[in-house]
Structure 1
């Protein structure tokens, strides 16, 4: 995804995938920024009708200043990844499906996501703390310098406003342990006397749903051909619509197979009704992408059956059992880098034990 950074800081983590050094930092950042303001922006504006009200020249700044909008855009990228395929190519124009592989811009998707999170953090720290985050003498700069190397993942964007009140000493003491704090409440426990932070620039946004938060996309007939004419079969809530899009993506449907309209409606409803333990233990705990989460849940639904799935994964559910399943998956190496076919196999084994 060529999108959204102005903070040029590259990752310091080594990658065994890359075979050559990327182009210069400034050139890569310029390439990515231009892609966002052109083709990437056009894709987002086409997917989210509410974005039409945001002027083209203001789109970049509006998204980068808003925690909610930026988080939603990153989730749209994950759930509608095929829409961005023209941007996800290497120097030879070949499709890139591995987030660790360098794109034409000279950075991988993993690198770009980290750059996006850092850029948003800079903007929020400037607004919430005052001072220049590029100036180590300012409070904003001291905090950014302490936390910069640990701003890596898209799930951290909603946490940026909660990072701002953290004492610099606390961040330095935690170091990589900051990545173990996966939700706002966990971060807030480090600053118990601080008020709950809000996004730096409140803007009207499309409805955000969970899991995971995503502005409601525009209708995509190519993804919903079996539903548009089915009357009662059409997704009836944003959550169901989100999971319908994920389950009908070609990469997912090739793994889970085809289902009758009734079976599809039941599966979508089941996934839309999962409990908070599923979100925290599986989605966040294993850092799963949208498509990976769809594979994981659809596999568990197939193995367990509707009633047992609802008993464990629905409301109120069985948090202890969900934690056990997540632990088994983690021990088997399941995570954000697992391919979909392998994840389905690992999930089946973890659920059956």
Structure 2
């Protein structure tokens, strides 16, 4: 009886403590980092190893860097050698993508400070810490849509949204993705691209676990997250990781805590539900949802990324002219 009573007391204490922690974890304050005039589409958000940024991709072919509220966003890098400021600045016309570029996702190699980029028209690229024109590493894809660099090995994990359709097809009203999306690995030493998972539908941005044992990748249309094992007894196999996303997962980022992730969940095109607004899910490596962060300011937009740094969530969208910042 004494052991049982002690267990109950401990459970009550932990419940109170957990409730206190969760109540302090709510992101209730919202601010915006405004993009330059006429510029839209910050689909990806990244911070360098010094914590500077955010760096964002935008629809007119540039990567911009936030320099604080006094300066705002400044021009950092671009992906298309044919890009001109006169033609491209401020455009969101995808037909100009082959000229201006359309960078979609960003990820830093924190050992080298190189910024890796996936561009919907120019494939995989990289640019140094001084910015400028990015160097193309691999091409021939229909639409590279997501990226995560594993800094220890330098391996680049990226997603190819389709073997059939490009970003212009996917931007058409009523478009339904096919099931030819893939998770890929680029090895910077051999410069080879390897297919890890195929048959994904509307695939988004992947994330490597902090212990480098597996990669998580969204399966957007099927509203689930897949896990591909890099190490251990299940190495080179994949399995369903998460199904209770209450929407379509579109991008995954590691949190500041080891073995936890933020999943950006989009509800555009889904039937209204109790959790019909876009939101971020904080999950652990056991596929337990630890927190749901509503993103009501993005109700009429497609949320594409939720990135955590310094107790704040930075949220991007393909339709916004700002980066949203949620704080506790």
Q: Report the TM-score when normalising by structure 1.
A: 0.28
Q: Report the TM-score when normalising by structure 2.
A: 0.30
Q: Which has the higher helix share?
A: 1
